[in-house]
Structure 1
Amino acid sequence: MTETFDPASATIAIVTYNRSGLLTRLLESIATMDPKPGHVVVVDNASVDDTSDVVASFRERLGTELVYRRLDTNTGGAGGFSEGMRVAYELGSTWIWLMDDDVEVIPDGLARMGAWAPRFKSIQGRRYDYDGSEFYWQYRLSIPLGIPIPFAPAGFDEKRYRVMNSGCFEGMFIHRDIVQKVGLPDPRFFIYWDDSVYGWLASRQTTAVIVDEFVLKRTREIKQWDMGTRHLNASSNAYRYYIMRNRGHMKHYFRTHGAHRPLRFAIGTFLTFAKELIRLVAVERTVRGTSNLWRGWRDGIAISRDRSWTPMPALPAA
């Protein structure tokens, strides 16, 4: 029997950190949505700006129930999305729509996503970039290499969807049945690879898809190298560190599920390092920051050798 989508059964879970201006724009876009979700959860990663005041100002005008969770420490995007998904799951949400604070929702975005809900249980919508151009997201992973496939087709045919084996927490729309089986996002990642691995785990449970529906727009301008359909964004020392370190956690997940291919994964790690060097030179016009890549690589090796490591557990069924 096909499950009918009810907008009230959906929860938007937002992670924010010291960007109250961007959060304001996102909440304003939610306030004008039609239809609206049943709940909006805002997870605040211990912001020191006026984020709590901004959230309070929307309680009466958002048009749906607003749940605010301020964490004691900054747990990164991974920790924030783990908490946001946990809260949404415990609220009894059937659908959970994850997003960062630097996007705004297209007014009928939830209806667009919900139209696919009877067919799929892990769905990624599309988004516009800051300048209004179409953002290309690398929706396929090479599992042996553990890296995105940069030449995965960008266009859509008459089906208007493509099967994916990855995920992006900036727009992931996922059913509670899949969350229950996979468990919560792993907060140990802090930032980077957390959503890719989670999307891969979800794709092992169901047919995961990216659909030809524009539902979000980025509201923060990021320096980038425009390569046509694809582009390379500027990064930071923290991202450079975690993109290498977290390959240790990724390796554990691949091992757990019998997907780890040591030689090819090592090649993927080298290619990741090389890509970040290119990003430094081509986008940020510097070579400073390479020490963070080396430090992350070293720490990732240590994590991969941790015999006490265990994956995130499944959740109790409702």
Structure 2
Amino acid sequence: MTHAPSDRFDPSTATIAIVTFNRSGLLARLLTSITTMDPKPGHIVIVDNASTDDTTDVVESFREGLEPARLVYRRMETNTGGSGGFSEGMKVAYELGSEWIWLMDDDVEVIPDGLAKMGKWAPRFKSIQGRRYDYDGSAFYWQYRVAERMGIPIPFAPAEFDESGFKPMNSGCFEGMFIHRDIVQQIGLPDPRFFIYWDDQMYGWLASRKTQSVIVDEFVLRRTREIKQWDMGIRHMNASSNAYRYYIMRNRAYIKKYYRALEVYNPIAFGLGTTLTFGKELIRLLFVERTVRGTSNLVRGLRDGRRISKDGSWRPMPPLEPHIV
């Protein structure tokens, strides 16, 4: 069948796509929350990034409990990072004919009526982000807008909602992105070359160039993993890792490539964004992790990014062929 626009949301046309890696306990908690959902989606796709724990057994133990949703389990041969996992999850969901694809990591749980809350907005928008509770039950703040020319999140975009119940966004987060297949078809799959970090921001930005993207005042997810934070009063800064420090700088090169391809690249503004990103990560090291060790990963990321910038064969992710089921 082909997918025509509708003023009604059919939960059976939605797919939840989950990426997991060696966190079977968190995955089990997420799957348990899905068993209590009302309504449930038509499909649940789990992409396992070559876990070495008991993830496979955990997934199989939930197969019957998730019905009537159909469970599709894809185990990758190697760890492709969150970027590769979400790219594969999106691909599987798209090929299943899903009209809506709801992406999430394994360290959240779904509010029982979360899909109904997202579906309420589906007739109006095609790229939607819901809200999340943090580990402690507080509202999790996510930077939903980017300063386009600098390629960095705007940290102090207003957190409050007006009576409309939504705010325009030009970014994205794979911890809860709810996106229509029409937009996926136009912008292609998430780019696995990012491995981790900046991939969802870039994907959300690409989506916002095709449709009105919004964050809505609906709490639909809850984080289940506590992360060390620095309380800045009006905002928090989370702890990171050496891998994240490397990729946050290296992947600036991929953002630059997309900006060049779409003719929005401004070298001065983007260079300032890179400098601010480097400085922010130094602050994170000093005030969240109380160390300066890890700075070398930032430098290494910049160095490897320069090689990517010089790659003349690089191309953006291509649009997808319309898929008829």
Q: Normalising by the residue count of structure 1, what TM-score does the alignment of the two structures yield?
A: 0.99
- SS of the residue 1:144 aligns to: coil
**1:187 partnered with 2:192:** yes
Superposed, 1:81-100 pairs within 5 Å as 81-100=86-105
Following superposition, the deviation at residue 229 of structure 1 comes to: 3.5
The 2-side partners of 1:136 and 1:61 are apart by: 32
Structure 2 residue aligned with 1:40, among 27, 31, 44? 44
The 2-side partners of 1:158 and 1:60 are apart by: 41
- SS of the residue 2:259 aligns to: helix
**1:125 partnered with 2:101:** no
- SS of the residue 1:173 aligns to: strand
The 2-side partners of 1:179 and 1:228 are apart by: 37
Structure 2 segments unaligned to the other structure (5+ residues): none
Structure 2 residue aligned with 1:173, among 178, 186, 191? 178
The 1-side partners of 2:6 and 2:77 are apart by: 42
The 2-side partners of 1:115 and 1:304 are apart by: 42
- SS of the residue 1:99 aligns to: strand
The 2-side partners of 1:209 and 1:147 are apart by: 18
* Identity %, equivalent residues: 75
The 1-side partners of 2:234 and 2:123 are apart by: 31
| Structure 2 partner of 1:19 | 23
- SS of the residue 1:299 aligns to: helix
Following superposition, the deviation at residue 304 of structure 1 comes to: 1.3
The 2-side partners of 1:229 and 1:263 are apart by: 30
| Structure 2 partner of 1:58 | 62
Moved more, 71-80 or 255-264: 255-264
Following superposition, the deviation at residue 230 of structure 1 comes to: 1.6
Structure 2 residue aligned with 1:29, among 20, 28, 33? 33
Moved more, 83-92 or 221-230: 221-230
| Structure 1 partner of 2:243 | 238
| Structure 2 partner of 1:162 | 167
- Matched to 1:40, the amino acid is I
**1:8 partnered with 2:12:** yes
For the aligned residue pairs, the C-alpha RMSD in angstroms reads 0.7
Structure 1 residue aligned with 2:75, among 55, 62, 70? 70
The 2-side partners of 1:10 and 1:317 are apart by: 17
| Structure 1 partner of 2:274 | 269
Following superposition, the deviation at residue 2 of structure 1 comes to: 4.5
| Structure 1 partner of 2:141 | 136
| Structure 2 partner of 1:108 | 113
Structure 1 segments unaligned to the other structure (5+ residues): none
- Matched to 2:55, the amino acid is T
Superposed, 1:183-262 pairs within 5 Å as 183-262=188-267
Moved more, 187-196 or 222-231: 222-231
- Matched to 2:151, the amino acid is G
Q: Deviations over 1:123-142 (max 9, x none)?
A: 00000000000000000001
Q: Deviations over 1:135-156 (max 9, x none)?
A: 0000000111010001110100
- Matched to 2:160, the amino acid is G
The 1-side partners of 2:270 and 2:321 are apart by: 33
The 2-side partners of 1:284 and 1:125 are apart by: 29
- Matched to 2:184, the amino acid is V
Aligned length: 318
The 1-side partners of 2:235 and 2:319 are apart by: 35
- Matched to 2:105, the amino acid is D
Residue 136 of structure 1 contacts residue 229 of structure 1 at CA under 8 Å; is this kept in 2? no
Moved more, 201-210 or 228-237: 228-237
**1:289 partnered with 2:259:** no
- SS of the residue 1:132 aligns to: coil
- SS of the residue 1:82 aligns to: helix
Q: Deviations over 1:10-33 (max 9, x none)?
A: 000000000000000000000000
Following superposition, the deviation at residue 3 of structure 1 comes to: 3.0
Residue 4 of structure 1 contacts residue 118 of structure 1 at CA under 8 Å; is this kept in 2? yes
The 1-side partners of 2:233 and 2:131 are apart by: 17
4+ residue runs over 2 A deviation = none
- Matched to 2:43, the amino acid is H
The 2-side partners of 1:72 and 1:313 are apart by: 24
Residue 7 of structure 1 contacts residue 38 of structure 1 at CA under 8 Å; is this kept in 2? yes
